[in-house]
Amino acid sequence: MRDSSDYPFIGQSQERLYAWCINDNVDVCQLLVWALEDYGGAKWALKDTVNVSELFGRDRYKYVEPLAIHPDCDLIFLTDQRGKAISYDMDSKKVHVIGTHETFYGAIPYVPCFAEWPSDGH
């Protein structure tokens, strides 16, 4: 995972670990998605690359932020500074607008905690 202008977001989907980020160090602003292929060797494989302007249908300089990955299918969720939230299906390459609301921008995705706490009696 190199040549990225932003820190990657990570998430688990379909029992695999994914990392994705927005890269604007190239002529076209891109969403890059990697999957961890070899847990023992920490080998990441580039799974998908797509132009952000194709997803949002406008100028690449509009700020876009990754939100989350769907736990059961190859969907990435993104939002922009105007509050437009979309899902991007990496398999079908389809984009769906989820909604528009100013609170989507800067949203923090739900991340489950699988830790076992002493207070749980484990």
Distance CA(29)–CA(60), nearest Å, equals 6
Count of structural domains within the chain: 1
Do you know the residue count of the chain? 122
Residue 48: beta bridge partners?
A: 33
pTM greater than the 0.75 cutoff: no
Instruction: List pLDDT tens digits, range 14-24.
Output: 888 999 888 87
3 domain residue, yes or no: no
| Residue at 43 is within a domain | yes
Look-up of token digits 């989350």: 68
Split at pLDDT 50, 70, 90, the class of 35 is very high
Distance of alpha carbon 60 from alpha carbon 88, whole angstroms: 17
- Evaluate whether residue 41 is within a structural domain: yes
CB of 107 closer than 8 Å to CB of 81 = no
Asked if the structure places residue 4 within a domain, the reply is: no
- pLDDT score recorded for residue 4: 44
In a domain, 36, yes or no: yes
pLDDT digits (tens, 9 = 90+) for 52-101: 877 777 654 467 778 888 989 989 988 877 778 889 999 999 989 888 77
Domain assignment of residue 62, given as a range: 9-120
